[in-house]
Amino acid sequence: MEVRLEKATNQDAQSIFNIQVEAFMPLLNTYKDSETNPANETIERVQKRINRADGGFYKILTEDKLVGAICVYWKEDVQFWISPMFILPSSQGKGIAQKTILLVEEMFPQAESWELATLLEEERNCHLYEKMGYSKTGISKKLNDHATLIFYKKIC
């Protein structure tokens, strides 16, 4: 399956927002992390990510169909952060996330490190990131009684 990334524009904000809500709503229902879950964010937050001076949102396309998005930004010129990345539930489990990570890492060859965070309880996400060369940093943040955010880093 071909996966392509394309820089998002303000015209993409509503579509990205809708997919973000659909992708994160099951996690919100499971973990009740209403303060931090992207399903509870506003479209204005999506627009801010699209227009970041230090990064941006990229649409994830398969066969020219929008199936998700990934936000990339840099803390410093060589330290990059992924947050959030999401794919429509109907398109998950098809290797799209793996290809997306590879593509985004290729887009920024100057990166010396990549960082991200995911829920410890989401074993499939943890497995994906570890398979892609990311290591647990040892830093975690308990969000509530149901969810813990765990941090990963990949040194290039």
Domain containing residue 106 = 3-155
Q: What are phi and psi of 5, to 5 degrees?
A: -115, 140
What pLDDT tens digit does each residue of the chain (156 aa) get?
Answer: 899 999 999 999 999 999 999 999 999 999 999 999 999 999 999 999 999 999 999 999 999 999 999 999 998 789 999 999 999 999 999 999 999 999 999 999 999 999 999 999 999 999 999 999 999 999 999 999 999 999 999 999
In angstroms, the CA 61 to CA 154 distance is 25
Q: State the pairing for strand pair 65-76/55-62.
A: antiparallel
Query: What is the CATH classification number for the domain harbouring 66?
Result: 3.40.630.30
Measured CA to CA, the distance from residue 7 to residue 66 in angstroms comes to 12
Closest to 91 in 3D by CA, of 70, 60, 121: 60
Provide the number of structural domains found in the chain. 1
